[in-house]
Structure 1
Amino acid sequence: MEWGIGQIRDQVTVGLGFTVNNTFAPGADGTISGTYDYYYNQYINSAVIDYNKWNQVHREGSGTAETKVRREDINAQITVSFHYSPVSRLDIYTKFGVGVGVMNYLYGKTRNEKGFTAKTVDKTVGTGSHYIYSFNDLDHARWDKMKSKVVPAVSAYVGATYYLSDRWGVEAQVGLLSANIKDEDKGYPNSYSVFSVGASYKF
């Protein structure tokens, strides 16, 4: 969305506006690590010595799993543009923007987990000691997932709109349409949009 705020000579219009951009990557298979640290209850009963007790047993460890990892980013920018109309229905422009973005990693269901154990026991051992307990490490797993990051966002591109009527037009844009900027050393590579086609409506 943008508004014309001034003119330079007869054919150049200065525009001020904003954009909201959403980019999505289809994703790829990856491996994530997870840890667990919890207590579970264990019941012990002995008929020989008339003994019964509930104990809390500590379990701690780590493991890995396979999952599908996808990337989805969003940003909002304030834009300044310069429009040139060589003929009545054609609008050629260049646009610059700056704003703030959010980088997101989306994770699918885990599979092929390794390093995690689950067990349910209800049995008598030896001379009559009865053990009852159940635990599942995956129920307490904390996965090492990449968190959302707030980052700078920029854009700089050229485009053209051809109006089929007084209101509706078709357009194409090429350049740096949308970019979320982050240091790749921290595991969040930059994301770019470089080309688009679409429709335009003039109020």
Structure 2
Amino acid sequence: MLVNLPQQSKDLLQANGFSVSRSDTPASRTAVDMTIEQTMNKHAKTSDGIVGFMANIESKNCETHKESFLSERRLSEKAVKKAMDTFSAFLNPFDTEREHLVCICSGQKVPEDVADDPLKVEDVGKKSFKEFVDTRLKDKTTRFHRPLTKTKPKTFGSVSKSTPKKSAKNVLKIKAGRNVFGQLLACHKNIK
């Protein structure tokens, strides 16, 4: 109680424990609670300070995020579900149950020779190197600076063949493999 304060906290009163001085100027002490309020108002940088900011209902609504509203959460969940359904409709490239390799872009089954060719690239390279050393360095049956024959391994790109199509004096090339993200965009537009 404040009545008993002089007897109970005599040292605190003599040390000016209930006021704060921000400068060395005499008689410039301020009550602790008032100093806290001034500091908060200064940091809030509003004309009404913290009190006015907290009393204004519109300012509270201004500071809330639109994404946290129930309606926005429902819309976001619906959009995520649509995207998940779209992705689940596509082939899973990491599915180990499949017996054959599938091209991600086109969704077509890749022939055996195309699927095996990338696995043989290292062996083909070693064979070409051995042939180069034997014919050009050891036996010298072929000139050293003669161009090398280029190996052409079959890739997924060779599966999607382009067919020329003539249209009004212009030649257009139609590719079988399409852009994955373009397919996603088309599916997304169709779902809406």
Bigger CA radius of gyration: 2
Answer 1 or 2: which has greater strand percent: 1
Answer 1 or 2: which has greater helix percent: 2
Scaled to the shorter chain, the TM-score interval is: under 0.3
Q: What is the TM-score when the length of structure 2 is the normalising length? A: 0.16
